[in-house]
Structure 1
Amino acid sequence: MKIWIVSLLLLVLTPAFAQEKTLKIGVAGLNHGHVGWVFDADKRPDLEIVGIAEPNRELAQRYVRQHGLSMDLVFDSLEEMLEKTKPEAVTGFGTTYAHLEIVQACAPRGVHVMVEKPLAVSLAHALEMASLAKKHNIHLLTNYETSWYATTEKAHELLHEGQVGEARKIVVRDGHRGPKQIGVGPEFLEWLTDPELNGAGALMDFGCYGANLSTWLLDGQRPISVTAITQQLNPADNPKVDDEATIVLTYPTTQTIIEASWNWPIGRKDMEIYGLTGAIFADDASQLRVRMAEGYSGFQEEKFDLGPRAKPFDDPFSVLIEVVLGKTKLLPYDLYSLENNLIVMEILEAAKESAATGKTVFLSK
């Protein structure tokens, strides 16, 4: 009788103590300044780096020494890494231009992909990536820092609950002093300020955040029109690309203003949503304020000091793991989703055209 009870207990408890499945991932490129995130994630039990594709051996040696890994993980090409290590997913930490090449290599092999924002350097690249992802049934995610922000989630929740009424204007600001001024590594700086490898300058690097957030907040609406102004205010540091961009998106009942800069003395990622009865201010990752209107200029303000987003959305690698393993299905037009980021690329493409021609670009219906 006792043996039977112990056996039953073991049967019931084993799933709770069973080790979580470890997702085997490959890393494509090491010349993105955010690549340290994936090496930090490698320390967790549910993720393992099985291969790294990086032809720059000196750069690879620097990272593997820093993170206590072996050069046996490093391959000169993505194709060789995929064939010899068989990852289930690949994270892109090279140039934005290389994102298409990653999907071209991974999709036919059934390997899922997550890239750093933005999705691609151009709409043409993005559409080809999307076609490959759909044809071969892989997940293709795009990671933005603001996707982890608790304030981003709370702002979306409050807006859709009708807390401040229907949105009339959204303002998203993202910027800092510029890549060179904040001291990014030489490998990152080289391509971040290259119009072919990055697609543009501040317009792409920081303009993508506002396009991504606006698309999510407005449930996947495409703008009617896009108007953009870009400037090169610091040609000494950014001789080939814009470093200041303002993008205006018009929707049937809403307007979004995106301010992207490599010239601000203080780095910031914040957002304002103005509704019919109040306004939401997402000041940073954790601080959010709601002002409800009283009279002409009066208001009642409520402040929120938020903890991290609930798992898995507190961390991009947790999202990747759960999506690939089928534990989480992204909601329509989620911040990471392909459908959202195709609209982002449509907006950015139109913004580049508008800035170049000095004309408003109307999106096709």
Structure 2
Amino acid sequence: MIKVGVVGMGIRGQLYAQTVQQNNYAKLQAVSDAYEPSLAAACERFGAKGYSHIEHMLEQEQLDVLIVATPDYLHKAPVLAAASKGVHILVEKPFSTSLEEAEIMYSAVQKSGIKCMVAFENRWNSPFVAVQEAIRQGEIGRVLTMNSRLNDTIYVPTKMLKWSQGSSPGWFLLPHSIDLALWFKGVKPVKVFAAGSKGKLAGMGIDTYDSIQAIISFEDGTHSSFTTSWVLPESMPMIYDFKYEIIGSDGALYVDLADQMVRQASSSYRHMHTLGTSINGQLGAAPNYMLNAFIDNVRLDTEPLASSADGLLNTRVVAAIHQSIKSGISIHIQ
């Protein structure tokens, strides 16, 4: 039985804890959160031991896996603590919001020899899995360009996340879009140029970008565009709007996650979220498949689909995007 601990008992941490409890090969051993009410609620809900400090949890519990579901900018300490104990890690994206920290984390993971998966969950999201298979089979020829649009409603930075000022749509949303691009192409990114705008959120006392646009150049001479924002109105049919266009030499692929096949009309109009709908009480969304895959990686000694190397590269690209916004020039990716 794979013994699992979770640090960060917000929305994601609770989802991961529930997933572990449904896995036949894993046991939720302990949970950790610095905010006492969240910790107490998690302990009661999941019947697990609780710790205010991750270091204490790692000292007291013989964990096989630590899931890091802390806010974007608080991944370093738990990752380093787990790596020092030889505990395998699933860490939320982005790997880090600091390139310097990401490099330290990557080195610690490599030195320890543990398995580390970065939670690029869309690699387990059925529409994108189908796209990846079509590309792999050569159905659209060589990928020439990609255009991605991933937006959230303003509910996310103002109500859902208490820590959005420590992040940005670049750090919170772009890692998904960029990881998919790197997964689809399998070609190294070499340069980015980006622009970002502040206004609406800053006027609400949240000093972060409203939106970001970026162009990434790849070593094969192709380019792709990425747009992200988190200031859409709350009246949108869904909390997110994710569209992806992949144009190849022999065809094209189009993904629209806003259209999930069911629309509900009553006093208001919305798209019903159907991807990952629980069936017979079993969770079946991309994050659940991802975590179950990582538990299999640990118990079967196989390599994760989304590794710490993928996480480090992703952080390099997103960090370069933010640097380009501030400098107004193109940034080469090291």
Q: Tell me the TM-score normalized by structure 2.
A: 0.84
The amino acid of 2:225's aligned partner reads I
Check the 8 A contact 2:165/2:207 in 1, yes or no. yes
Q: 1:173 to 1:137 in 2, by over 3 A?
A: same
Per the alignment, residue 221 of structure 2 pairs with 253
Cα displacement string for residues 241-282 of structure 1 (whole angstroms, at most 9, x for unaligned residues): 112011110123321211111023442223110112221012
Cα displacement string for residues 47-78 of structure 1 (whole angstroms, at most 9, x for unaligned residues): 2211122232212122333x2525xx111211
The amino acid of 1:253's aligned partner reads G
Matched, 1:268 2:260: no
Matched, 1:342 2:312: yes
Cα displacement string for residues 71-114 of structure 1 (whole angstroms, at most 9, x for unaligned residues): xx111211110111111010011122221111211112110111
Per the alignment, residue 171 of structure 1 pairs with 147
Per the alignment, residue 69 of structure 1 pairs with 47
Per the alignment, residue 267 of structure 2 pairs with none
Cα RMSD of the aligned pairs, angstroms, is: 2.6
Check the 8 A contact 2:68/2:90 in 1, yes or no. yes
Per the alignment, residue 111 of structure 2 pairs with 135
Check the 8 A contact 1:216/1:340 in 2, yes or no. no
Structure exhibiting the larger radius of gyration computed from Cα positions: 1
The amino acid of 1:244's aligned partner reads S
The amino acid of 1:214's aligned partner reads A
User: Within 5 A, what are the aligned runs for 1:94-105?
Assistant: 94-105=70-81
- How many Å apart are 1:190 and its aligned residue? 2.6
User: Within 5 A, what are the aligned runs for 1:274-289?
Assistant: 274-284=247-257
d(CA) in 2 for partners of 1:64 and 1:53?
A: 9
d(CA) in 2 for partners of 1:306 and 1:264?
A: 21
Work out which of the residue numbers 121, 136, 142 in structure 1 matches 2:97: 121
Per the alignment, residue 360 of structure 1 pairs with 330
User: Within 5 A, what are the aligned runs for 1:1-365?
Assistant: 22-30=1-9, 32-44=10-22, 45-65=24-44, 67-69=45-47, 73-180=49-156, 183-184=159-160, 189-194=161-166, 198=167, 201-219=168-186, 221-234=187-200, 235-237=202-204, 239-251=206-218, 252-265=220-233, 266=236, 267-284=240-257, 315-326=289-300, 328-330=302-304, 334=305, 336-364=306-334
d(CA) in 2 for partners of 1:328 and 1:312?
A: 19
- How many Å apart are 1:161 and its aligned residue? 1.8
- How many Å apart are 1:145 and its aligned residue? 3.5
The amino acid of 2:151's aligned partner reads G
- How many Å apart are 1:233 and its aligned residue? 3.6
Q: 1:345 to 1:85 in 2, by over 3 A?
A: same
Q: Where does structure 1 differ by over 6 angstroms across 4 or more consecutive aligned residues?
A: 285-288, 305-308, 310-314
**Identity, % of aligned positions:** 20
Q: Between Structure 1 and Structure 2, how many residues are aligned?
A: 308
Q: Secondary structure at the match of 2:30?
A: strand
d(CA) in 1 for partners of 2:105 and 2:3?
A: 22
d(CA) in 1 for partners of 2:81 and 2:122?
A: 28
Q: 1:226 to 1:181 in 2, by over 3 A?
A: closer
Q: Tell me the TM-score normalized by structure 1.
A: 0.77
Q: Secondary structure at the match of 1:193?
A: helix
